[in-house]
């Protein structure tokens, strides 16, 4: 993996840090741009030992409550350096909006519980064929359960509890918490 790919990886993580600390937070102090230190040593980041690609980003409870909610947009270019990402945890961060197209084919776990989401995050989940666990409980979601969730063949855990949703999900061995 070339140095340019490594630098893009650190740059993308520093943008995440900036968003989670807006306007004046101080979370994730180990994430710094001092000569782009190896992000595999940063807190809340785990890399594959052989490829050095980021496979886990766990930002659970990173955003300080006094900073208020954050409407955050995700896009494919933001996550391009993380094509091997398997676990993305954004639990408890006062996120009020997640829009984007992140196309993470290797994503297995997405945890967005305990945020302030009012609408289902727009993700093109068809690219996440390996998604096994989707945690959306304890938000402010309203309306119908999107049909795109029912098409996730690998999904075995889905939490939607503590929301105001209508509709049902097909039973196919998936553990639902509605």
Domains of the chain: 3-177 (3.80.10.10)
pLDDT, tens only, 115-148: 998 887 666 666 778 899 999 999 999 988 887 7
- Please name the helix (run of DSSP H) or strand (run of DSSP E) that holds residue 8, with its range, or none: helix 3-21
- Whether the full predicted model's pTM is greater than 0.95, yes or no, is no
Burial call 128-143: b when 16+ CB within 10 Å, e when fewer:
bebbbbbbbbbbebee
Q: How far apart are CA 108 and CA 87, in angstroms?
A: 6
pLDDT, tens only, 77-109: 677 788 899 999 999 999 887 666 667 889 999
pLDDT, tens only, 52-83: 999 999 999 999 999 999 877 666 567 778 88
């Amino acid at each position: 993996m070339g140095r340019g790919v490594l630098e893009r990886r650190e740059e993308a993580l520093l943008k995440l840090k900036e968003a989670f600390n807006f306007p004046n937070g101080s979370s994730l102090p180990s994430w710094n741009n001092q000569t782009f230190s190896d992000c595999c040593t940063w807190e809340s980041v785990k890399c594959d030992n052989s490829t050095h690609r980021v496979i886990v980003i766990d930002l659970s409870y990173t955003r300080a409550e006094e900073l208020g909610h954050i409407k955050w947009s995700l896009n494919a270019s933001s996550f391009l350096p993380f094509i091997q990402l398997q676990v993305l945890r954004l639990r408890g961060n006062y996120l009020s909006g997640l829009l984007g197209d992140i196309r993470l084919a290797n994503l297995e776990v997405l945890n967005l519980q305990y945020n302030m989401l009012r609408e289902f995050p727009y993700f093109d989940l068809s690219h996440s064929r390996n998604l096994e666990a989707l945690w959306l409980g304890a938000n402010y979601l309203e309306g119908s359960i999107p049909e795109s969730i029912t098409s996730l063949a690998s999904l075995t855990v889905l939490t939607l509890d503590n929301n105001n949703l209508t509709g049902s999900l097909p039973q196919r061995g998936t553990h639902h918490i509605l």
